[in-house]
Amino acid sequence: MAGIDGTSKMSAPLKFGEVHPRTLLFGLGASKAHDTFRKEIAWREFYADVLFHNPNTIDGYRDWETDRKSTRLNSSHEFVSRMPSSA
C-alpha cells in the first residue's frame, strides 16, 4: 500500500540496502510524528536483525529456554553451541 498518504515509501529501499536507516533519521526533529517514525525504524531494524541471526523465527516464536540450554559461554565470554555439529 505504498500509495497511502503518511507512509514513507522507504520499505523497499531499506530492505535492499539502497538507503541506510541513519540517513532517514538524520534530519528528524523533536515532533511527535518524527519520534514515532524513529521508533518504527528502530523496531524494523531490530526485527530484521533477529531474523538475520535466527531465520527459524520467521514462522514460529523463539524458544529462549531451549537456546539457553543449548549454549554456553567459553572462556572469552563468547557463545558456543552445546549441540553436536552436523558436519
What's the domain count of the chain?
1
Domain of 71? 11-81
Secondary structure in 3-state letters for 27-49: CCCCCHHHHHHHHHHHHHHHHHH
For the record, the C-alpha cell of 2 comes out as: 505504498
Residue 76 lies in a domain: yes
Is 86 part of any domain? no
pLDDT classification of 2: cutoffs 50, 70, 90: very low
Q: Is residue 6 part of a domain?
A: no
pTM, two decimals, is: 0.57
- Percent of the chain, pLDDT > 70? 61
Task: Tell me the pLDDT tens digit for each residue of 34-71.
Answer: 898 899 999 998 888 888 887 777 776 666 666 666 56
Nearest CA among 54, 57, 44, 39 for reference residue 12:
44
What torsion, rounded to 10 degrees, do the Cα atoms 37, 38, 41, 45 define? -170
Is residue 20 in a domain? yes
**CB atoms closer than 10 angstroms to residue 24:** 16
**Is the pLDDT confidence value at 16 over 50?**
yes
